[in-house]
A and B are shown apart, each in its own frame.
Chain A
Amino acid sequence: MAVGLIYTSFSASSEAKQPSDLVNAGSGGSYEMTGVVVPGSIRHRGSELDFKMADRAGSATSIPVRYHGEIPDPFRAGREVIIRGSVANGTFMAERDSLITKCPSKYATQAQQDPQHVIITN
């Protein structure tokens, strides 16, 4: 079993990449991309979700992502997400239902208050 475990894990795994690794990648390949959702880039177009992802470390380069399927609740701008798919013409074409967000305990420490936020009155 140990041999099978080692063999299949190396063959079944998809390469984990950051957005900056994939911006100039050719079409094709199967990747798992980890990065941060760029603020202001989220657009719902029909049942399709378009957004951009940048490196976690914070870089100027970002890659557009096209996604269908379930959107986990923790998904939002500025959050870290993991997504699977391939690259076509500079766009990351995600597999259906492949969008994963981290357990909320991960980002609980990063929360900040927006000083100018909506106040709903009676």
Chain B
Amino acid sequence: MITLGAACLILAFAVAIYAGVAALVGTRGDRRYVDSARRGVYAFAVLLTICVVIVEAAFVRTDLSLQVVADHSSTTTPAFYRLTAMWSSQEGSLLLWAWVLSLTSSAVLFATRNKHREITPWATAVLMGLGTFFTGLMLFAASPFARLDPVPPEGVGLEPLLRHPAMAIHPPMLYTGYVFFAIPFAFAIGALITRRLDASWIRSTRRFALIAWLCLGVGILLGARWSYSELGWGGYWGWDPVENASLMPWLVGTAFLHSIMVQERRGMLKVWNVSLICATFSLALLGTFLVRSGILDSIHAFGESTVGAPLLALIGLVVVGSTLLIVSRTADLRSEKRIDSLVSREAIFLVNNLLLVGLAVVIFWGTFFPLISEVFTWDKTSLAAPWFDRYTTPLAILLVLFTGIGPLFAWRRVSLGSAKRLLARPAIAAAAVTGLLAAFTDARSHPLALVMFGFAAFTLAALLQEFARGAAAYRSLSGGSYGRALMALFARNRRRYGGYVVHAGLAILLIAVAASSSFQTSRDLRLRPGESAVVDNYKITYEKPTAEIDPPEQRLTFGSVLAVTKNGKPYATLYPSRNYYSGVGAPTGGGPIRSFFEGEATSEVGRRTTVGGDLWTSMIPDLGPMNHLIASADNRLERIGRGIKPGDVQAQQAFGALQGLAVRKIEQRYLADPPPANFRVNVNPLVTWIWVGGAIAVIGGLVAIWPAPEARRRRVSDVYAARLARDLGRA
């Protein structure tokens, strides 16, 4: 099986080269080569699918003769997470990248097989160039089919932190997002080379751009969710380079999705659009690269990853190549029209675009500042969260405001009178919300947050007004209830109204971000069983410790029962705990029992979620009082361990079981004479609405992506019209 997989990978590499070359030959006009290249792409997809199935099967069976399985999974890894362990590895994530690329390339080439005769061969060549690159990377640098000899008795296991449902789907979502941006990118390159720079390439690929944008957004949300509920620090965003790497292409991709509407409608912003998609894809590659290399820690860490240098070379090629191409085509990229008025939808779109790109530039600068400063001052310095907040907060606030204004204005121009009329109600809503919050809450203390609430209220009110206006217009034409009118609006123009739902979701999300970051209370408590402490309106009592051993997962859990009262009334019982895992990772020094307690551990937070916010608790038991117990167990075990010959598997297992008994002893002692524990208690107002807003935005995105029946029909007639025109031209 493994041999078959390795063979399929080599074949896939060869097929990708063939399809790329055939497509290039086909650019001269011989359709046979183009068709053959397209079939080559299908074959590429089939071959990579076989590779993925074989690697996944090896993970499910825990075939430890495969290096990637032994390094990232084990027999004690739960069955579901064995399936997802593939993409925690470098080899597996490269395979995932290439596989998604092969599938989406096949999909787009199938959909456009009778369209864009000039553009598709070039797009095919670009996509298969990427395919060649990533399969080549696997073949020569990080093969998922590398074998281990001798076969180890047990694998390393999936990192316990990654054993979380959000983390199971987060990487595929991110990668799908990154890879799908390759489609509009490849078509943009094709359009640039052939100088076919009308909006037709955009129409054929914008759904792929939307899917990319949505998947990337879902990936980012899941990452934030995982960080919030699993990582034990209580935050959802930390401006970590890896987080920033996923946010940058999303921001620039968002700008792209908006500005292509201007090109479709008005034939403007052509240079801007091709630049945006090239930037988005470069940032997507950069995202892949940042996760897989140590570049941001130091320039010197560069050699650590085998795939870093080739990936950087590819990014360089994409950036330089597309820049040169765009510059050489400036004459063809001239706008067909100009912006008529600053009070028009396209003008607002342009402002929003600049804000989004501005955000990406700030984040890029901050993320790469360690490298920048090393170049200029020879001293490596870095920027922390406050620096990022300082710039991203005002930009995000303005973005929310313009998100509200954009949909209100019509294309081309709006008279000042009607602009005033359109803006009046949302402005009143914003003023009312701001006034009420300033009068009755402590929102005054955070002016920026207050402005954010006001602008978000403006945007939500503007969206409501748009829905009401649309529904009223529909009803005056065909009658019916408001509910039916709303449904009809969505059915008629999914992209537009789906987009509005996305706006509403993101406005809610940003309200929640502003509230939870500005008004959070965070306290560290140190409690013995029976003791209590007060945080805000909550009184928290550490009632008793708990302990549990889970042999299948090789896990010991020390937990606590926290009784919480709010304003004197019973409010919740929370169970924060800490899990210690055995058999995952290298020894930490100081004997096997010390290694167990200082080794792989995760926090399970205890949380009570309400509409108003979360009460969030985590605990770390203080094992200091048990140090002597751990040390004496290690001493005794060390004496026994000396007698075991290396390679005597049976004796080693018996020794391991003896250690297990020692751990059980410590567990009993922990319950009998519980030490104090350190608790972190956070009161996070409105934090739930981050996930609610995110979910609303995702639903809106799905609505926008879903093909409308009319659109489907129209597309068929487009093809028909194109054929007819061609035949007429021949005659």
Cβ 8 A contact of A13, one of B383, B595, B624: B383
> A43-B624, A114-B585 known; A120 and B551 CB under 8 Å?
yes
State how many angstroms separate the Cβ of A104 from the closest Cβ of chain B: 5
- A119 and B238: CB pair below 8 A? no
- Is B549 a contact partner of A120 (Cβ separation < 8 A)? yes
Residue among A70, A74, A109, A117 with most chain B CB within 10 A = A117
Interface: A24 (CB within 8 A): no
Check if A59 is an interface residue, CB within 8 A of chain B. Answer: no
Q: B594's closest neighbor in chain A, by CB?
A: A40
With contacts A39-B590, A73-B601, A116-B592 taken as known, whether A44 is within 8 angstroms of B88 at the C-beta atoms is: no
**Residue B609 CB within 8 A of the other chain:** no
Closest to A77 in B: B588
With contacts A34-B297, A112-B586, A115-B652 taken as known, whether A120 is within 8 angstroms of B556 at the C-beta atoms is: yes
Chain B residues within an 8 Å CB radius of A71:
232, 620
From B382, B387, B551, A32 is in contact (CB under 8 Å) with B382
Please state if B384 and A103 are interface contacts (CB–CB under 8 Å). no
* Selected contact of B72 from candidates A13, A84, A108, CB within 8 Å: A108
| Contact for B384 among A15, A47, A84, A106, CB less than 8 A | A84
In the complex the two chains form, is A119's CB within 8 Å of B583's CB? Answer: yes
Interface readout for B609-629 with A: 1 if CB under 8 Å, 0 if not? 000000000101011100000
Residues of A within 8 A of B589 (CB): 39-40, 77
User: Shortest distance in angstroms between A3's beta carbon and chain B's nearest beta carbon?
Assistant: 12
B315 at the interface (CB under 8 A from A): no
Give the contacts of B404-447 with A (CB-CB under 8 A).
none
B69-85 residues with Cβ-Cβ distance < 8 A to A are 71-72
- Which residue of the partner chain, among B152, B366, B551, B592, contacts A9 with CB atoms under 8 Å? B366
Known: A40-B588, A113-B583, A117-B592. A12 touches B383 (CB 8 A): yes
CA distance A80 to B469 in the complex (A): 56
What is the number of residues of chain B that contact chain A, defined by CB distance less than 8 Å? 97
Contact B551 A70 (CB under 8 A): no
- B396 in the interface, Cβ–Cβ < 8 Å? no
Interface membership of A58, Cβ < 8 A: no
Contacts A45-B624, A103-B240 given; does A13 touch B524 at CB 8 Å: no
User: Contact: B660 with A118, CB < 8 Å?
Assistant: yes
Q: Which A residues from 75 to 122 make CB contacts under 8 A with B? A: 76-78, 80, 84, 97, 100, 102-106, 108-109, 111-122
Q: Indicate which residue in B379, B524, B618 contacts A68 across the interface (CB closer than 8 Å).
A: B524
Highest count of chain B CB atoms <10 Å: which of A16, A68, A71, A113: A113
Chain B 372-388 interface mask (CB, 8 Å, partner A; 1/0): 01000101111110110
Chain B contacts of A119 at CB under 8 A? 554, 582-583, 653, 656-657, 659-660
A68 to B583 alpha-carbon distance, docked (Å): 29
A14 in contact (CB, < 8 A)? yes
Other than the given A16-B382, A34-B297, 11 more pairs (CB < 8 A) read: A5-B362, A9-B366, A13-B382, A40-B594, A74-B231, A104-B159, A111-B586, A117-B656, A118-B583, A118-B593, A120-B549
* 25 A-B pairs whose Cβ atoms sit less than 8 Å apart in the complex: A12-B387, A14-B381, A14-B384, A16-B381, A32-B381, A40-B594, A46-B622, A47-B524, A47-B526, A56-B301, A70-B233, A73-B231, A73-B232, A76-B598, A77-B588, A77-B589, A97-B233, A100-B238, A106-B294, A113-B152, A114-B586, A117-B656, A118-B656, A118-B662, A120-B551
Give the 4 A-B residue pairs with the shortest CB-CB distance, closest first. Answer: A119-B656, A39-B589, A40-B589, A77-B588
